[in-house]
A and B are shown apart, each in its own frame.
Chain A
Amino acid sequence: MPGFLSFHSLSQILINGLLFGTMYGIAAIGVSLIFGTMQIIFIAQGAMIVLAAYLTFWLFSLFFLDPFLSIFFIVPAFLLLGGGLYQVLFRKVAYAGKNPSLLIAFGFMIMLENLMSLLWTPNTRAIKTSYTAYGIEMFGLQVSFTRMVAFFLAILATIVVTFFLKKTLMGKAVRAASEDLGAATMIGIGTHWVNSTTFSIGIGLAGLAGVATAMTFPFDPYFGFIFSLKALIAVAFGGIGSVWGALVGGILLGVIESLGFYLLSGVWADGISYVVFLLVLMLKPEGLFSGFKRIA
């Protein structure tokens, strides 16, 4: 019974929440970036993450490729896939209001989820490597090795994305377009090109999150929808369009869930994150840390 909460178990819960939350964080950065430039809620982000997780699983069980190595295949492939997705699915409706693109993303998600369930069966999968069970002892706390690596990958990815947005010409164009689309067009920024780039980055991050998920958690084809919802919750916490806000929002959500899971039973914990989500949407839709700058 969770009547007594010692400092030790509290820190263990917080650490678990933090590590779990970074997964939501990377997913949320993608969603946040895509929303920032295109005003599209890309609800299929979670399904893309699960797709990457399945590909990792597939590479691991058929070609015995280590999940860490598969990052070098999956992330570039997903970067390309992201640009392609934009060109095929969203280019045509990019400026026809937001409902068509929202519904296309929704339809795409349903299609992808069920396609995966057909291809890989709806059973839950998990990758077992020689180091999956390996844990590190830090300050008397147990930290799983793979989750620790996933955490650092997430931080690294966030730094790379921030660097891209701040320092490169392409990144500056993306920021300009998300700040003021009309003005950006006027100074000669091709908006389809910018959208395509953001989609690439967003889906690339989904690829990374998918590999990390495959390494650390069991997953099934329908896990993606919940993942998308969690990513949206993280975006709502962090404020739409903010990269670090999304990461921090994801971590915050992870901690809330982890606490909820410990204090209440599992299914209720899920409900709590939705309730917090609804409350944030209702009361503070600009994000909990709205003092932050909009992008990066």
Chain B
Amino acid sequence: MKPKKMAVTTILAAVLFTGLPFVVDSESSYLVFFLFVTFINITVVQGWNLVGGYAGQVSLGQHAFFGLGAYITAITWLRGFGGYFDPLAMILSGLGAAILAIGVGIPLLSKLRGDYFALGTLGLGEILRVMFTQGGTLTGGSVGLLLPSGVYESMKPYYFVSLGLAAFATLAVYFVVKSHTGMALIATRDDEIAAETTGVDTLKYKVLAFSVGAFITGLGGSLQAYYLFHIHPAGFFSLKWALYPILMSLMGGAGTIFGPILGAFFLTGVFELVNIWLPEAHPIFSGGLIVAVMLFLPNGLIRLRLKRSFSKKGERKEVK
């Protein structure tokens, strides 16, 4: 998209989404709920997009960061350090996830083979689920933690915080990508050895992308914790939170700013519809959709219009 058109679209979207809860009744409107879900999805999708789409490192363990963020929020609240919509607790949730990402990312990403990273992150999510299931009174075991849900007043704060998070995630990815770091990430993705040869410290940038992505995902987990008031390992360390970001990102176009947003809107809509009409077929459908997208639409929806397709070898081209 051209910068001017992009700016106009962004401002229009911002005005539209900010004004919406004042126009419709936010407590009963399905639209507000739908947008809330979509914004959380956009947040975690952008978290994956930075590391998977731009840095080219497929993380299969975003649910580890999502769950960790949710648990940090819940535990700080129950122990009296945080509270309802405490910005400090939310930042702490993101930071916890980012620190975990740095700790795991350095050894896993220092190998040139991306597969080790994919496998290791998958293992990470499973380890965290076991740890939090076994965490005793601190994590509440498999039942999880119950937060005081009496503080719930209105849907409005959820809507605005989710909108804010989605905007923050998108802007964070935008600024990282526009900077020197973004160039290094894309160079690493397209040809890691060549990037290394030209003096790019690939490990540093990969870990950076991974931890920023984890920070964003942790924030998303934190908000979800405030919304559900019940944090349990099966729900928050569910593979769904690893799967959806990948799917939405690829569907819209990984490695672009707007593609993942498009993918999040589209797939959240599809999933909500499937959930209503065919709840038991939902996971079959999303699994099949990944396969179909990769086979028939490997560049994502957004690149259909841009007509920039795979180069001969199949690497993605940067789309400005």
Q: Which residues of A contact B (CB under 8 A)?
A: 35, 39, 41, 89, 92-93, 95-100, 102-104, 106-115, 118, 225, 229, 232-233, 236, 267-268, 270-271, 274-275, 277-278, 281-283, 285
Contacts and interface: CB of A to CB of B under 8 A. Distances in A.
A126 B126 CA distance: 25
Contacts of A233: 123
A39 B289 CA distance: 23
B271 interface: no
Contacts of A229: 122-123, 126
Contacts of B107: 281-283
Main secondary structure of the interface of B (DSSP, over half): helix
Given A89-B295, A107-B288, A229-B126, A281 B119 contact: yes
A275 B134 CA distance: 15
Given A110-B283, A229-B122, A278 B250 contact: no
A227 to B, nearest CB: 13
B314 A97 contact: yes
B290 A232 contact: no
A275 to B, nearest CB: 6
A204 to B, nearest CB: 22
Task: Sort A-B residue pairs by CB-CB distance and give the 5 closest, nearest first.
Answer: A107-B290, A110-B287, A111-B287, A96-B314, A282-B107
Interface stretch (B110-118, B149-157, B199-207): B110-118
Contacts of B289: 107
A91 to B, nearest CB: 10
Given A99-B58, A103-B294, A111-B284, A41 B115 contact: yes
Nearest to B107: A282
A255 B258 CA distance: 49
A50 to B, nearest CB: 15
A281 B116 contact: yes
Given A103-B294, A104-B294, A278-B123, A118 B280 contact: yes
B250 A103 contact: yes
Given A114-B283, A118-B280, A270-B130, A108 B118 contact: no
Contacts of A115: 284
Interface string B93-124: 00000000000100110010111101110111
Nearest to A264: B134
Given A267-B130, A270-B130, A285-B116, A110 B294 contact: no
A92 B295 contact: yes
Interface string B156-199: 00000000000000000000000000000000000000000000
A229 B122 CA distance: 9
B127 A275 contact: yes
Contacts of B286: 107, 110
B264 interface: no
